Structure formats: structure tokens, C-alpha cells
Amino acid sequence: MMIEVTNLTKYYGKRLAVDNISFNVEKGQIVGFLGPNAAGKTTTMRIITGYLGPTKGTVKIAGYDLLSHSLEARRHIGYLPEAVPLYADMGVRDYLTYMAKLRGVTSQKVKGRVDGVIEQCHLQEYADVHIGKLSKGYRQRVGVGQAIVHEPDVLILDEPTIGIDPIQIASTRQLIRELGKERTVLISTHILPEVSVLCERAIIIDHGKVVAQDRIENLSSVVTGSKRIRLEIEGPTKKIAETLRQINGVTRVSFEDSRFVVEYPSSQDLRSKISEAVVKGGYTLLSSESVALSLEDVFLKLTTKEEDSENEELGQ
């Protein structure tokens, strides 16, 4: 396990920012860390990277406790904060060389590491250009470069594509995919499609608490407590619907866009029973596919519950 967060709590004075959260990230995973504004995302990221101490709880990076073995833990971390700490009057190569030395890369390896990072981040044409003259997208690449120059096992990225144009977003996403082949990556972002495209798991935080964490494809059933399957079946609609409703475990059957949608508890797998019932009824099953909520739908359901309930009480 590369990131282990256990019962993490953070107060700012009397204000509770992070409320007893726990989660793990395994080696080689790219995981999205999601939440609305003021949910506790940035505070959690800063604690995980060692920039901020927790009030209670523990964080381990590559097996090292971040408080009792701080230096060992931080050697394994590369961090790209939302506001990238760049020196505008330095050239790209000079800056990366400086950061490599600060991060403890030995003098014999500095040049090789810097050259490798420049190539990996596709900065060859800008290696000797002052950072202040670069576009936002290329400055972001330099920021990623400083985060990986010491070859960390864990990469923490806070809003890595914020404020850059669509072409740069696409290239930055591709760079993150490449980095994720060799590293554990935790990405905090407001851009939900980015998580769907890049991440295999998502952790959703709201009001300082983790409200869901699972693989992207499983989050829908976590939220609704049920699975849905869409079926295209040839035959009389009413009779087919009645056949489907009689299957033990099916909770709901609807007919949408010329297809049947069957709902059943997420703890069960009724796909084979459904297929058998259709065939025994003498009908033809033309297609079958799982139906899941989009990540945006899941996010909104999890982070707007309190607001919705307040509105209902007020009759709004």
C-alpha cells in the first residue's frame, strides 16, 4: 500500500476541516480525489504531502509514517500544488536542476534526471527558455517536472489541468497516464470527466467526510444500492414486462426508448436468471447492457443531499 490514511482529522481553531477520514491507495493506481469547494480536499492533500500537520490520525507513504519518519516518507512524494511554485526568471533546465539538488538527487545523477524529465514532459524546445515566458500549459508541465525529478513513487496532483486550454489539457492528461504506469497517482480535481478518463478509482469527500470510495464503475451501485440492466427484447411489451417482474429479486421494471430497464439489489447478480426467463418465455433477447449513473450524477447525489433535504423542509 503506497498511501494509507487512517482516522485523519484536522481543525483550524474550532472549525473542523477534515473529519476522521480513512482511505488507501495501492501501488500503480491512479485515483481521483473529489469534492465540492470547502470539502476538505486541499487540506487533506497538504497533510498527505507533509506541508500541514493533522490534529489527529496517521498518514503513511510507502510504509513510512509521515510524522515519525517524515524525511523517509517525503522522499517518496512528488507534489504539484494548485499554484505551481515556479521561479519566473529562471530557465526551465536551471530550475529543474535546482529542484533536483533540493530534493537530494546526487550530483552524478542530476544532469541525467533533468534531461530525462525534460524529455518526459516534452519540454525539449523550451529547456533554455525563462519560465516566465512560457504559456500556462507549459508552466504546468514544468510543475509536473519538478514533482517527478527525484523519481518519487507517489505523485500528488492538485488541479493539474486548471486554467489551461483544451489542447494542453489533452496533452497533460496523456502525460499523467504515462506517469501512472510507474507511479501511484492521487489527483484532486473539479473536472469530473477528467476523473472518468484518467482514474480507476474515486474518493469523494464532502463536509470533511469521505462519502464514497470505489472503482468508477461501481460508484453508481454504491449510491443507489441497486444495479440496473437495459435489455432489448423482441416480443409483446406487456407480457415481457410481466415476465421480468416475476423474477425473484427484481425490484423494478420500466420501458424506456424501446428497451426494458430492470433494477435489482446491488448485492445480487440476476443477469443469468433474467436471460433464462426471457428464453423460457419464448422471447428473443437482442441485447443486454449494464446501466450506471454518470460520475457527475453520483457526485451530485452524494454532495447535495443536505441541501436538497433543507429545501424540502422549506418547501422550496
CA-wise closest residue to 197 among 25, 3, 32: 32
Q: φ and ψ at 150, to 5 degrees? A: -95, 15
> Pairing state of beta strands 259-265 and 226-234?
antiparallel
Which long-range CB contacts under 8 A does 50-56 form with residues at least 24 apart? Answer: 50/74, 50/77, 51/79, 52/10, 54/8, 54/9, 54/10, 54/18, 55/9, 55/10, 55/11, 56/7, 56/8, 56/9, 56/20
* Number of neighbours of residue 183 by Cβ within 10 angstroms: 21
User: DSSP H helical segments within 3-104, as ranges?
Assistant: 41-48, 70-75, 92-102
Same fold for the pair 3-216 and 225-295:
no
The CA distance from 45 to 54, in Å, is 11
Written as tens digits, the pLDDT of the chain (316 aa) is 999 999 999 999 999 999 999 999 999 999 999 988 889 998 999 999 999 999 999 999 999 999 999 999 999 999 999 888 899 999 999 999 999 999 999 999 999 999 999 999 999 999 999 999 999 889 999 999 999 999 999 999 998 988 888 888 888 899 999 989 889 999 998 788 889 889 999 999 999 999 999 998 888 777 777 888 999 999 999 999 999 999 999 999 999 888 999 999 988 999 999 999 999 999 999 999 988 777 888 888 888 754 444 443 334 3
> Radius of gyration (Cα) for the chain, nearest Å?
24
Helix (H) or strand (E) holding 315: none
pLDDT at 305: 58
Would the pTM count as exceeding 0.85? no
SS3 168: helix
pLDDT at 312: 38
SS3 134: coil
Question: Tell me, which fold does domain 3-216 have in CATH?
Answer: Rossmann fold (3.40.50)
- Region of residue 191 (phi > 0: left; psi between -120 and 50: alpha; otherwise: beta): beta
pLDDT digits (tens, 9 = 90+) for 138-147: 999 999 999 9
pLDDT digits (tens, 9 = 90+) for 237-250: 999 999 999 999 99
Please compute, for residue 295, the number of CA atoms within 13 A of its CA located in the half-sphere on the CB side: 25
The CA distance from 34 to 298, in Å, is 11
The CATH class of the 225-295 domain is alpha beta
CA-wise closest residue to 299 among 173, 184, 214, 177: 214
List the chain domain ranges. 3-216, 225-295
Q: For residue 151, what is its C-alpha cell?
A: 523519481
Cβ atoms 94, 131 nearer than 8 A:
no
pLDDT at 139: 93
* Number of neighbours of residue 223 by Cβ within 10 angstroms: 21
pLDDT at 311: 41
The CA distance from 41 to 270, in Å, is 38
Q: For residue 246, what is its C-alpha cell?
A: 416475476
